[in-house]
């Protein structure tokens, strides 16, 4: 039988084809660089919610990074989407699809209930006419799908990440259509693009990111992605830093030139975030506070970057400032809420233990 193995050598490299499979030996210097990079990324990923919280302070403290990276904002958003789609646990996804009631209710709340209530309150109070720039930011926030990083943040906090994941997927699939609907109802001429164009851009961004993630999963393999979870977490945090820097590059300048307005917008961003968190947790409390808090985290973590990319960043200064200020609760809240989440999880596990013992 003919040996199908073939070896070719050259300085620093070795190529082998046993059974037509290719192995590559890299030069020692390159191996050292890659190993050091993986260790560094792993360390960043291991910092979890602490690293996520540090992102906003670094972004504000070093404005030149924001000025440099603002032109690459859409690239950062697509990279974050690709990483999130790439890491979707298909088995967990199918498991939750067998119990669609809770997922359907949470999806309806985040895609229909939240933007409808935000729009009606703003219209009833006259906020849309009094502060059109802030109203635009508020509506884009309400219309956005949850952040793609929400399942990872829920997992870091010890919450039900699979429930967040499946609701995130269903909500994201619907957002090109629901965002177009609410843009037509509440925004009209306030938006630089037509509602139809907004929906088509959202659909294109999501479809392109999903295609890229699918190709990566096919080439690399799901097992390799899971095996390198920690360095991928580190890459995710670095891209989050690039995204936050691009949005928050002018925050320090705004704070110095108009401190009262800037602080007021920051307080508004925190109030909206925790209002969404609290109301969602109360609405879904019957399924258990641990799960309800996971859904509350997801609903309050809105994917504003997706809306920035869909509008090509053509937004008024007040809208940009509001988007920048939302980064503070988005990145700080998971760190602040982790002790509460762990207590709720421990309480849920303690209460389920006697039930299991009684069943046996």
Give the tens place of pLDDT for each residue, 25-50.
Answer: 667 777 777 778 788 888 887 777 77
Phi first, then psi: give them for residue 199, nearest 5 degrees.
-60, -40
The residue among 188 and 265 whose pLDDT is bigger is 265
Q: Is the pLDDT of residue 306 over 60?
A: yes
Q: Using H for helix, E for strand and C for coil, what is the string for 285-345?
A: HHHCHHHHHHHHHHHHCECHHHHHHHCCCCCCHHHHHHHHHHHHHHHHHHHHHHHHHHHHH
Give the tens place of pLDDT for each residue, 114-158.
Answer: 999 999 999 999 898 899 999 999 999 999 988 877 877 777 777
C-alpha–C-alpha distance, residues 163 and 92, integer Å: 9
What pLDDT, on a 0 to 100 scale, did the predictor assign at position 97? 67
What pLDDT, on a 0 to 100 scale, did the predictor assign at position 353? 53
What contacts 66, CB < 8 A, 6 or more positions away?
A: 59, 245, 246, 247, 248, 249, 250
Residues in the chain: 360
Among the ranges given (114-128, 192-206, 207-221), the one the predictor scored with the smallest mean pLDDT: 192-206
C-alpha–C-alpha distance, residues 155 and 48, integer Å: 10
Residue 326 pLDDT class (50, 70, 90 cuts): very high
Query: Half-sphere exposure (CA, 13 Å, Cβ side) for 298?
Result: 33
* Residues forming CATH 1.20.1530.20 domain(s) in the chain: 48-346
Question: Global pTM?
Answer: 0.76
Angle at the Cα of 50 from the Cα atoms of 44 and 54, rounded to 5 degrees = 85
What pLDDT, on a 0 to 100 scale, did the predictor assign at position 352? 56
Please report, for residues 14, 17, 165, 231, 258, the alpha-carbon distance to residue 151 in angstroms, rounded to integers and kept in the order given. Answer: 41, 40, 5, 17, 36
CATH code of 48-346, in short, is 1.20.1530.20
What pLDDT, on a 0 to 100 scale, did the predictor assign at position 6? 43
Tell me how crowded residue 255 is: count the other CB atoms within 10 A of its CB. 15
Kindly tell me the number of DSSP H helices and DSSP E strands found in the chain: 19, 3
Q: Is the pLDDT of residue 314 over 50?
A: yes
């Amino acid at each position: 039988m003919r040996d199908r193995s073939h070896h070719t050598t050259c300085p620093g490299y070795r190529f082998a084809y046993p059974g037509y499979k290719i192995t590559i030996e890299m030069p020692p210097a390159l191996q050292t660089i890659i190993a050091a990079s993986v260790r560094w990324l792993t360390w960043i990923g291991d910092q979890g919610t602490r690293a996520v919280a540090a992102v906003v302070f670094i972004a504000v403290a070093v404005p030149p990074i924001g000025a440099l990276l603002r032109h690459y904002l859409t690239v950062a958003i697509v990279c974050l989407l690709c990483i999130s789609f790439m890491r979707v646990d298909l088995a967990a996804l199918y498991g939750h699809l067998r119990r669609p009631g809770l997922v359907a209710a949470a999806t309806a709340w985040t895609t229909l209930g939240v933007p409808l209530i935000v729009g009606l309150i703003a219209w009833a109070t006259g906020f849309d006419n009094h502060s059109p720039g802030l109203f635009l930011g508020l509506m884009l926030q309400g219309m956005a799908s949850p952040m793609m990083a929400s399942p990872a943040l829920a997992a870091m906090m010890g919450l039900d990440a699979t429930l967040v994941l499946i609701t995130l997927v269903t909500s994201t699939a619907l957002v090109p259509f629901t965002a177009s609907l609410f843009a037509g109802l509440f925004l009209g001429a306030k938006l630089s693009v037509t509602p139809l164009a907004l929906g088509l851009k959202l659909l294109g961004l999501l479809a392109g990111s999903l295609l890229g993630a699918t190709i990566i999963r096919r080439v690399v393999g799901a097992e390799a992605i899971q095996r390198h979870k920690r360095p991928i977490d580190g890459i995710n945090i670095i891209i989050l830093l690039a995204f936050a820097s691009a949005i928050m590059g002018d925050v320090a300048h705004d704070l110095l030139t108009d401190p009262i307005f800037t602080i007021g917008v920051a307080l508004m961003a925190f109030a909206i975030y925790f209002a969404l968190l609290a109301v969602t947790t109360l609405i879904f409390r019957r399924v258990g506070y641990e799960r309800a808090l996971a859904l509350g985290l997801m609903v309050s973590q809105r994917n504003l970057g997706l809306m920035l990319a869909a509008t090509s960043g053509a937004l008024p200064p007040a809208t940009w400032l509001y988007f920048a200020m939302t980064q503070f609760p988005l990145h700080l809240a998971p760190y602040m809420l982790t002790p509460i989440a762990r207590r709720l999880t421990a309480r849920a596990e303690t209460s389920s233990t006697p039930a299991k013992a009684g069943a046996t």
